[in-house]
Chain A
């Protein structure tokens, strides 16, 4: 029953040194918990779409586009008309299906709510065998008056999920019969399927008035996702190699000079890889980041290592105080093996206690962590026997690794020497411990610098002078809704009559909108050039006044001049006057804004530059300001921006809503403050900043525990020296200074390693931003982080140092 004796002895020992045990176990528990939380995140990120049956044979067709004169676009979506040809031309492709999203308004009682509707081909559910809650999916999901709902939507619109056979009404006046209810998709899916309606020409008709073809037949509309299911034996590489020829055979030429395969490239993206490796643009959901996963894995590993080293450090330090117990046990007949087993038992007891505490920490912190990382994580994964087994094995190895060091050293003590002189051999090398502290603080300091840089860049992005006044601007969307577009001027005028609305402007896009059209100009100022690409922004006369933008040169577009507005005559646009921004001035090759005035640039029609406005930031600080041209074209209005007076915002919005509902009862009302919309673009930066803050905090806590362990270990070792110094006249302050300096050194060395490291990493990170804080500020942050680390180190060791410095020296000096 030796083991029982060890357990008793171990637990009493832990209890006797309560503070020490608590610090030791808590440090390890925090390390374990952090590790488990990060593991849950990583496992979640890696499990996207793999739960879909047959997922390994499903691919998405993605498009890379090389428009001349600008960067490459990697798009998740492609051209819809490919779909039948892919099925026809490749025998390996068993099924191909389109998915296209469009916002529609759905009736709920007297209100209409804007919803993202998924339009899919009839064979979509043959490729994606998704679990149903109610009903069955017809082999031919092709009745245009059919809808499949998710459980969430069924509850939203009907209050229950047993709704097969009920009908939903859209703002186009049509009823859709519910044919099935889908189980809600887990968040580990790259697409959203809330309301699914068959994709058909009745939803995307030809424009009878203009004669424009249906969007489904438009080769130049890139907004359709195509999924293919391939034969189990098919080789996707082989398939992709045939794509260039396929493109040239099936797609129309972009223009006379290039063939399709020169402009475009098709790729197959495996379903399971879409989340992390799929094309970054035109995505359904934001892309996951492999870099984030790797850096999180690295951080998890580092935190676990720090925690294990601490555990080892603290255990060894404490063990050296127990030399006498070991010596007595040996005198009483314990073999070396017994001592080793005893110390390992103790380490295991502590490690498993830490493990249990870690599980509690994980369970308690999971809801908050879920908010922080923006996904709902279940602890369910942990309950699987395999995962649990792995964690138990990990704990066992930690115990072994941490316990082995003291166990083997302590068991090698010579009892006679310890019992006669009372002197224990030195345990472990100070250098090794100091190295560990240096590593820990290098990690801490780097994480603190990272956190500071991420937050400061975020502040900069949000606060920088955007070139316009973004305060008190409210944006209304859905202006391009067929029910709204014709009445947009009426809406604008009625809103302007409100006392709190001072300005209003109709535009094609507003700042922070993602996809904005681009036009190429082959003739500038009468000379032929390689096409120069400019962003196109349709505005109205009140654009500059609403956004508070001043002219740099020339004049604003005027209400009194017919040629200041784009006019169409039989489909064809007539020449008109435009404004350009300063970037466009240099991109087009003009010497100065003044020089550009009166010059003509020609695409198919000629535009005359009448005014130049400053560059304004329409997108995030990551992007360069694009050369842009502004003209007035009512056809492309999408957004209405209102300048309102500060004051009673709720009242103002209620007034605006009243007018909207009066005019467009069937279109949902979605007001958004522009500054909030801009801030939302930085949400992932914000989340990342918060996570770094969390990790830096944890690393600091665990490192402080380690330093505390080292401090108590060396203080105990130096107790005789301190006694001598005190007898020689050293004051408490002298001794504290001595000890604190000893621990300042490793932190200073850590600074010297961490500073260049974090400067390098963070200046690389800042290069992602076209507009960023000065890289030299990182140096300031390095000093700040170094100061914080030193302060933390001082606070950690000061308490212990003061205790040792105050102790009566005679105790240390009387006996050796």
Chain B
């Protein structure tokens, strides 16, 4: 599905250069469930942003479905991103002024899909994540777990083949965290590639592979049997 080759990301201010990722080489196959772990500041989020095409590498190659996207412009990346990649954030990032259904529909809004089809697909995905009865509610009326389920629904409603989750359970209690992990697992079983950044070893266990990062380097990779 994707391959990172000698990937480096450096942030430069006037005086100092900070290397966030240094010569990273990672390959992720279609249908994998990968967890990325590491202490704060190790470059996890930078890695996820580059994979999610929200950020561009300083040097190296990023092959997405055999296409080197490392030198692509923001607009070109945007086209690939909206077709293939869904996002889930720690802080849910729902729009407060829109209802549950409208928030989910947002992911289809920029895809030239007719309104009637949008409605159908939103309804279907709400059923799937068990939030249909809350369709007209505003995000502030939902619990954290429910909000994250809305976010998951939004991430998959466009039939994205890969979901990037940045600490999806970070703001949730254990029970709700469990719920979200199970949902991600189910999506993975249905064929969606999932890349997840997490601090929780138990949640990392849902993944079939864990990549450990330290100071911008991949230190270990471990596979679950």
Contacts and interface: CB of A to CB of B under 8 A. Distances in A.
A and B assemble together:
yes
Nearest to B171: A816
Contact of B93 (A732, A808, A813): A813
Contacts of B75: 731-732
A724 interface: yes
Contact of A808 (B54, B97, B107, B111): B54
Interface stretch (B20-28, B81-89, B205-213): B81-89
B20 to A, nearest CB: 13
Given A723-B93, A724-B95, A734 B54 contact: no
Contacts, number: 52
B54 A725 contact: no
Contacts of A721: 95-97
Given A724-B95, A729-B107, A808 B81 contact: no
A720 interface: yes
Given A727-B87, A729-B78, A810 B110 contact: no
Contact of B54 (A720, A729, A810): A810
Residue in A721, A730, A808, A810 whose Cβ sees the most chain B Cβ within 10 Å? A810
Contacts of A727: 54, 81, 87, 93
Contact of A729 (B45, B81, B166): B81
B59 interface: no
Given A808-B54, A810-B55, A814-B45, A730 B93 contact: no
Given A720-B93, A814-B45, A728 B110 contact: yes
A513 to B, nearest CB: 69
B172 interface: no
B131 interface: no
Contacts of A726: 78
Residue in B54, B94, B111 whose Cβ sees the most chain A Cβ within 10 Å? B54
Nearest to B49: A810
> At the interface, is chain A mostly helix, strand, loop or mixed?
helix
Residue in A728, A813, A814, A816 whose Cβ sees the most chain B Cβ within 10 Å? A728
B106 A816 contact: no
A724 B106 contact: yes
B87 A808 contact: no
Interface string A783-816: 0000000000000000000000000111001111
A513 B39 CA distance: 94
Contacts of B94: 724
Contacts of A815: 91
Nearest to A723: B93
Given A724-B106, A810-B55, A813-B93, A731 B45 contact: no
Interface residues on B, range: 20 to 34
A731 B78 contact: yes
B118 interface: no
A729 B110 contact: yes
A813 B82 contact: no
Nearest to B48: A810
Interface in A86-127: none
Contacts of A808: 54-55
B154 interface: yes
Nearest to B92: A816
A809 B78 contact: no
B10 interface: no
B109 interface: yes
Nearest to B87: A727
A809 B54 contact: yes
A729 B82 contact: yes
Contacts of B111: 729
Given A721-B97, A814-B45, A728 B106 contact: yes
Given A809-B54, A810-B49, A810-B54, A731 B110 contact: yes
Nearest to B157: A728
Interface of A: 720-721, 723-732, 734, 808-810, 813-816
Interface of B: 45, 49, 54-55, 75, 78, 81-82, 87, 89, 91, 93-97, 106-107, 109-111, 154, 158, 166
24 contacts: A721-B96, A724-B106, A725-B95, A727-B54, A727-B81, A727-B93, A728-B154, A729-B78, A729-B82, A729-B107, A729-B109, A729-B110, A729-B111, A729-B158, A730-B109, A730-B110, A731-B75, A731-B110, A732-B75, A808-B55, A810-B49, A810-B54, A813-B89, A813-B91
